[in-house]
Every structure is written in C-alpha cells, then in structure tokens.
Structure 1
Amino acid sequence: MAALIVKPKVPVSGSAAVLSTMRTALGNDAGVRYVRPMAGDAHVVQLTAPAQRDQIPALIERLRASGAFQYVELDSMMKIK
C-alpha cells in the first residue's frame, strides 16, 4: 500500500501521537502504520487495508483539509528529467 510523508503543524514525538492525529482526521477504523521518523519533524506512515489504491488521493486531501498537518505528500521516488 502507499506510504505518506506527513508533518504535523504541532511537532509531536512518538509514533502514537502521529497515528492518533491521522486517525482523528481519517476515522478510527483507518488503516495506518507508523514506519519511521524523518528530519524536520516529518514522519513516514503507511496506509494499510481497508484503504484502496484509488482512494489514496482522497485520503491525502482529507488529511490536508483537517488542518492538523503542515504538509502531506505521497512518499515516492522523485524522477529527474
């Protein structure tokens, strides 16, 4: 499933705080798994079942619209042309 890079507006420490903020935005039954912290108070999280690939853009928009995150983006390999 897809991995996301998220940066909460309020810096949090620990995976539980990041996942709690995401579940508040997406609902308690949201399938999310903490992967690892990044520099600059960002975190990598993975969307798991029941999220389907075609739902990912809408889930990203819900996280952005929640106002709890400075940014949310898909964790993907950047291609330089």
Structure 2
Amino acid sequence: MNNNDFLQIRTLNDIYVRKNELRRDLKSQEAQLIMDWNAIKSQYAQLTTWQQNINHILSKQRLGLFSFFRIGIKTAQLILHWLKR
C-alpha cells in the first residue's frame, strides 16, 4: 500500500465519519422540530378554546363595554404570556 492509497482510505473514512455526524445532527433537528410542532398544535388548541369560551360568553350575555374591554385585555395578556414561552 502506497502513500496515495493511505490518503484515499483516510479521506473515505473522514467522509464516512462526517456523514454520520450530519445524520445525528439531522435526527436531533428533526426531533426538535417535532417537539416544536406539537407545542404549536397545543397552543393553537388552547387559543381556539379561549376564543370559543369568549364567543360563548358574548353570545349568552350582553356585556357592557367595560366588561368586553376587560376580556380583551385578559386575552391579550394570555397570548403575550404564551408568546414569551
């Protein structure tokens, strides 16, 4: 085996090692994306529930402007709290 053969084997080994590193990184990123997507789905479901609750309250009662304004502020605070997470 000459020096050129040794360099080719080393280069192939480096490529193989790098490919495995990239594969691990990709799997890790995929897992993070799945967790992020599940969190987004959960947050969307919660927002939908809040919206339905507010719509229910508004449809069942005649709220004064002040009460309606308070609900809007509370909803905005909850949304901001979620966005900060």
- TM-score, scaled relative to structure 2: 0.26
Larger % of strand: which?
1
If asked which structure has higher relative contact order (CA below 8 Å, sep 6+), I would say 1
Structure with greater helix share of residues: 2
Q: Structure 1 length as normaliser, TM-score?
A: 0.27
